[in-house]
Amino acid sequence: MRTIILVVCLGLLLWVEPASAQKEYSLTVGIHRDVPAMTQEQVDDALDRASSLLKEKDTGNQCDVTLKRSGPIKTFDFDSAPKTIRNIDDLESVHRVPADIKIVESIYFCQGRFSREGFWGCSWRLEGLPKTVIVSRGLRHGHDPIIDRDRRYILWAHEFGHTKGLHHRIDDDHALMTPCGFQTETRKITQDECTCFKEGPEGCPIPPPRHEATCPAARRQ
């Protein structure tokens, strides 16, 4: 009887271990040469806070994923990719820059469409091509912040989620993967989303939606 109980207990431990396993990503970062620089401290702060968001117990996340910078921040220039994304060719050029996270000045094209208001981030890419994180530096006229420190890390976590197979959802106003903008309370993820963060697109249990979720007019910011 004791042997049976021991076997059952070991089986339960083996079953729960994958869900509680830690996952650490070492991410290279590149910024366009003509964009106001970010210090390593600012980049590390965004990644540390994004990691804390995913582990946050108060929201029920408890997803043990850590995002860390790998190596120094690199720069790229117009010969590689533009600082402003206005069309799909610009977007593809930035995606091809050899870094996991790319920081540009402005993004006006994403999800197959142009927006005069612009996007804070864009990891969208043509089907079948690997997504990378692309974010706006978040400055207006070179100095005024559009997205500040207290929301930058939420944007980075959101865009990283897209690279792991996650799509937008609108069933929760506070969901990290909302398409409705970023506020300090925009931070909740589900356990299935946590699995996607850990396993990537190949192991993500959430099927792609038939239609990409868009923000209802009443919730647009």
At 180-212, the pLDDT tens digits run: 988 888 899 999 999 999 999 999 999 998 888
Residue 216, pLDDT score? 77
At 109-168, the pLDDT tens digits run: 999 999 998 999 999 999 889 999 999 987 665 555 567 888 999 999 999 999 999 999
Residue 215, pLDDT score? 85
Task: Let me know: does 118 contact 106? Beta carbons within 8 Å.
Answer: yes
Q: What percent of the chain has pLDDT over 90?
A: 70
Cα distances (Å, whole numbers) of residue 83 to 31, 44, 118, 156, 165: 9, 22, 14, 18, 26
Interatomic CA distance for residues 47 and 168, integer angstroms: 21
Task: Let me know: does 147 contact 141? Beta carbons within 8 Å.
Answer: no
Residue 220, pLDDT score? 53
Residue 8, pLDDT score? 39
Cα distances (Å, whole numbers) of residue 161 to 34, 87, 102: 27, 23, 15
Q: What is the DSSP letter of 195?
A: H
Interatomic CA distance for residues 50 and 68, integer angstroms: 10
Superfamily of segment(s) 23-219: Collagenase (Catalytic Domain) (3.40.390.10)
Q: What is the three-state SS of 25-59?
A: EEECEEEECCCCCCCHHHHHHHHHHHHHHHHCCCC
Domain residue limits, the chain: 23-219
Question: Is the pLDDT assigned to residue 219 strictly greater than 70?
Answer: no
At 3-30, the pLDDT tens digits run: 544 443 444 444 444 446 899 999 999 9
Residue 79 DSSP SS3: coil
* Residue among 37, 38, 57 at smallest CA distance from 47: 38
**Helices 191-199 and 149-163 sit at what angle, rounded to 10 degrees?**
70
Task: Let me know: does 69 contact 46? Beta carbons within 8 Å.
Answer: no
- If one counts every other C-beta atom within 10 angstroms of the C-beta of residue 163, the result is 22
